[in-house]
């Protein structure tokens, strides 16, 4: 479908992403958030910006280099977007460091958590740090003097490096005036001083400070005029020609080798770096002044992420909690018996991810289970679920795993899991070339005996909005549904057959699937609400997702608004739709929730003349999710569970007046503040009702 609405109806994707990070940074600035958690939010912004530069900014620069002038839905070409992005990123980074230096570091120091500068080191600290340098650092450092025999070294993406200004000549009479010292990845970037030399509380020293203090030891007989930390960010998008490739796994392994050394995109230097050295570094990386970022502090704030875990101060962190369990699972050990009677809905992280692990573990050891099929998008490098699947294959189960090799920044972990699964005889497939497999499904086939003694095969399925990743299940909000509903299981089985075999896509019974039916079904559901509104009936759409960008969907929402449909959108991240414009979108409200947990669940609710159709999905409303991915959107059929999804997944977020941001027609966001009446925080309320303090 082609876009027909004017450019003025759409907001820019890249600027929307940066606006989201503004909201995350606001959490770091919020003094109602525990202090160490504020530091975590600051680190999250740095991590997000790194990936943004590696992928999105790198892509813009590539388009500009290729003289691409094609515009996006908002009418801006790559050069226009790049200029706007650079301005906003600089502003965002400046605000980050201002917040760190003027608020967070002084606040942490008041709590006895200090980051010791060289000028503040006591005599015992100096001695301990000197001993640490000679014992732990010097043996693994390799200074590289720059001369014709030692050209500028390859610098890894996002690695910590030091450019050293030198004067004098070495033992061979050489003097280029400069050297590079690369910080080995094995060395910690932040070192906690032991209690014997630290003050009361917690004292930390940056690796960069230690190297600055002792860099002269690496260049005997020469004068060190300056030592400047720097970091280069490279294009990290992988390119695999999916039309030419014959073996996706081998092709990807080859491409991963080059990720660390892609084209340079950004250079970060300490603010004290000399102009001469800055010009030299820019020249070496083929960058210009627009790619340079001078920062007042560590060139990588993400290295501060270790601090909250090293500091035992519960009073400066979010209160711990114990995820709850649905009532149906509290006293039941036979999960299959429970699912034979009723569906089970899990709401993470408020409810435990353990039942999902037990679902697969029980299948792996149950002699009645014949086959296990599962999709893998992100699981992490250390995954209990993957180990269980490996064990199931060893036990002789028919294990089929659809591994998405192109899951960005998880490619290497997924390659390793694929290799281990294949070693034990599991069937490993890599989905469909050209379409990422983003659906979250696990299907179990079990041989069971009914009351009459007749044995037959019965299927059970787990469908979810989030990945099979136990760690993120404690940090992201997601829904998972376990069911033995025959038609839902048949839908999942049909999709697995598509992914592992060949043949046309058949019509599914309940599920909507990308790239075949999801877009058409969502459009049809929106149009249905518009028809109902035109007939004078109540009409409402409530949708929760991470991003909303697909132009046709946006146009359909505008049309529904004009027909009188009340539309409430909870979009955590990027939203390309403009709400509240008279005559266009006056019936649309957009809000974003940013809090302790990353809002990740996708919920689509259509009033449908009182039927209240409610779907959970792995997909956002973006072009890629509709047309370039395998996605799954499934209805919640059980009336009680449907009410739960509405009650837990939508209504609290619409009422939130603490962590909600309301979007205006220009793409700006205003934080909602409690007025008269009760303070409402969706995440806090769900923790209170579904979990227990630990």
Same domain for 520 and 659? Answer: yes
Calpha distance 254→123 (Å, rounded) = 51
Q: Does the predicted model carry a pTM greater than 0.85?
A: yes
Alpha helices in 406-501 (DSSP H): 411-423, 486-500
In a domain, 138, yes or no: yes
Does residue 529 sit in the same domain as residue 423?
A: no
> Based on the domain organization, do 543 and 656 belong to the same domain?
yes
Residues of the chain with pLDDT under 50: 1-3, 240-246
Element housing 95 (H / E): helix 78-99
196 and 72, same domain (yes or no): yes
Residue 541: C-alpha distances to residues 566, 568, 612 (Å): 6, 6, 9
Model confidence pLDDT, tens digit, residues 50-93? 999 999 999 999 999 989 999 999 999 999 999 999 999 999 99
Same domain, 248 and 127: yes
pLDDT attached to residue 254: 54
Q: Are residues 503 and 530 in the same domain?
A: no
The residue length of the chain stands at 694
Q: Note whether 483 and 630 are same-domain residues.
A: no
Asked if residue 607 lies in contact with residue 690, where contact means CB atoms within 8 angstroms, the answer is no
Of 263, 296, 316, the last residue of a domain is 316
Each residue's pLDDT tens digit, 458-487 = 999 999 999 999 999 999 999 999 999 999
Instruction: Tell me, yes or no, whether 619 lies in a domain.
Output: yes
Q: Is 335 part of any domain?
A: yes
Listed residue (183, 223, 212) closest to 116, CA to CA: 212
| Same domain, yes or no: 608 and 683 | yes
The residue annotated as part of the active site, out of 228, 438, 519, 600, is: 438
- Residue 442, in any domain of the structure: yes
Answer yes or no: is 1 within a domain.
no
DSSP of 17-56, one letter per residue?
HHHHHHHHHHHHH-TTS-HHHHHHHHHHHHHHHHHIIIII
Cα 461 from chain centroid?
A: 26
Same domain, 518 and 577: yes
Is residue 438 annotated as part of the catalytic site, yes or no?
yes
**End position of a domain, from candidates 267, 298, 316:** 316
Cα–Cα distance for residue pair 644/25, rounded to 1 Å: 32
Domain boundary among 509, 536, 562: 509
Which helix (H) or strand (E) element contains residue 526?
helix 518-534
The answer to whether residues 428 and 527 belong to one domain is: no
Q: Is residue 2 in some structural domain?
A: no
User: Could you tell me if 504 and 558 lie in one domain?
Assistant: no
For the chain, the distance separating the N- and C-terminal CA atoms, rounded to the nearest angstrom, is 51
Domain count, the chain: 3
Per-residue pLDDT at 150: 66
Q: What CATH number has the domain bearing residue 160?
A: 3.30.1840.10
Question: Would you say residue 531 lies in a domain?
Answer: yes
Residues 58 and 47: their CA atoms lie apart, in Å, by 16
> What's the CATH code of the domain at 518?
3.30.870.10
Q: What pLDDT, on a 0 to 100 scale, did the predictor assign at position 145?
A: 82
In a domain, residue 413? The reply is: yes
Residue with tokens 């979007």: 663
Residue 1: its pLDDT value, please? 42
Instruction: Tell me what pLDDT residue 609 has.
Output: 98
Backbone phi and psi for residue 279, each to the nearest 5 degrees, phi listed first: -60, -40
Q: Which residue range is the domain that position 480 belongs to?
A: 322-509
Same domain assignment for residues 214 and 339: no
């Amino acid at each position: 479908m082609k876009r027909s609405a004017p450019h003025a109806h759409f907001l820019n994707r890249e600027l929307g992403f940066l606006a989201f990070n503004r909201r995350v940074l606001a959490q770091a600035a919020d003094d109602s958030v525990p202090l160490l958690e504020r530091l975590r939010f600051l680190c999250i912004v740095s991590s997000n910006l790194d990936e943004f530069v590696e992928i999105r900014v790198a892509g813009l620069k590539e388009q500009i280099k290729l003289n691409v002038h094609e515009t996006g839905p908002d009418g801006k070409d790559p050069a226009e977007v790049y200029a706007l992005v650079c301005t906003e990123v600089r502003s965002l980074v400046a605000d980050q460091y201002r917040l760190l230096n003027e608020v967070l570091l002084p606040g942490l120091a008041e709590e006895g958590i200090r980051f010791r500068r060289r000028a503040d080191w006591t005599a015992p600290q100096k001695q301990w740090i000197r001993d640490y340098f000679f014992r732990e650092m010097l043996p693994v450092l390799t200074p590289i003097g720059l001369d014709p025999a030692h050209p500028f070294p390859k610098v890894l993406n996002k690695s910590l490096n030091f450019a050293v200004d030198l004067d004098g000549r070495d033992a061979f009479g050489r003097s280029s005036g400069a050297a590079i010292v690369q910080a080995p990845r094995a060395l910690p970037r932040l070192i906690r001083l032991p209690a014997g030399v630290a003050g009361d509380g917690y004292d930390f020293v940056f690796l960069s400070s230690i190297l600055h203090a002792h860099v002269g030891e690496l260049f005997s007989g020469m004068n060190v005029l300056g030592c400047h930390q720097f970091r280069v960010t490279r294009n990290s998008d992988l390119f695999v020609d999916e039309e030419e490739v014959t073996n996706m796994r081998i092709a990807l392994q080859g491409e991963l080798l080059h990720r660390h050394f892609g084209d340079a995109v950004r250079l970060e230097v300490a603010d004290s770096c000399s102009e001469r050295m800055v010009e030299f570094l820019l020249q070496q990386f083929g960058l210009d002044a627009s790619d340079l970022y001078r920062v007042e502090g560590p060139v990588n704030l993400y290295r501060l992420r270790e601090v909250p875990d090293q500091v035992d101060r519960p009073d400066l962190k979010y209160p711990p909690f114990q995820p709850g369990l649905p009532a149906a699972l509290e006293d039941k050990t036979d999960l299959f018996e429970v699912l034979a009677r009723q569906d089970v809905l899990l709401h993470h992280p408020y409810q435990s991810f353990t039942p999902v692990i037990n679902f697969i573990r029980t299948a792996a050891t149950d002699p009645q289970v014949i086959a296990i099929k599962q999709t893998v998008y992100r699981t992490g490098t250390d995954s209990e679920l993957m180990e269980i699947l490996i064990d199931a294959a060893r036990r002789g189960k028919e294990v089929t795993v659809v591994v998405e090799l192109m899951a960005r920044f998880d490619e290497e972990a997924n390659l390793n899991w694929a290799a281990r699964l294949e070693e034990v005889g599991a069937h490993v497939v890599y989905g469909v070339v050209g379409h990422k497999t983003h659906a979250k499904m696990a299907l179990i086939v079990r041989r069971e005996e009914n009351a009459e003694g007749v044995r037959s095969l019965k299927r059970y399925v787990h469908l979810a909005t989030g990945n099979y990743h136990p760690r993120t299940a404690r940090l992201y909000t997601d829904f998972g549904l376990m069911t033995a509903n025959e038609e839902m299981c048949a839908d999942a089985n049909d999709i697995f057959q598509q992914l592992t075999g060949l043949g046309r896509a058949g019509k599914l019974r309940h599920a909507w699937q990308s790239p075949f039916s999801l877009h058409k079904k969502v459009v049809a559901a929106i149009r249905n609400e518009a028809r109902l509104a035109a007939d004078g009936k109540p009409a409402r759409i409530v949708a929760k997702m991470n991003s909303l960008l697909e132009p046709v969907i946006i146009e359909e929402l505008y049309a529904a608004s004009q027909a009188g449909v009340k539309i409430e959108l909870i979009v955590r991240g990027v939203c390309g739709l403009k709400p509240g414009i008279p005559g266009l979108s006056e019936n649309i409200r957009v809000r974003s929730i940013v809090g302790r947990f990353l809002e990740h669940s996708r919920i689509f609710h259509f009033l449908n003349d009182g039927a209240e159709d409610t779907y959970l999905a792995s997909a956002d409303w973006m072009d890629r999710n509709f047309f370039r991915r395998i996605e799954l959107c499934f209805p919640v059929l059980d009336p009680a569970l449907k009410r739960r999804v509405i009650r837990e997944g939508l209504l609290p977020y619409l009422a939130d007046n603490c962590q909600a941001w309301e979007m205006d027609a220009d793409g700006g966001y205003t934080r909602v503040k409690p007025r008269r009446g009760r303070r409402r925080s969706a995440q806090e309320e769900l923790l209170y009702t579904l979990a227990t303090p630990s």
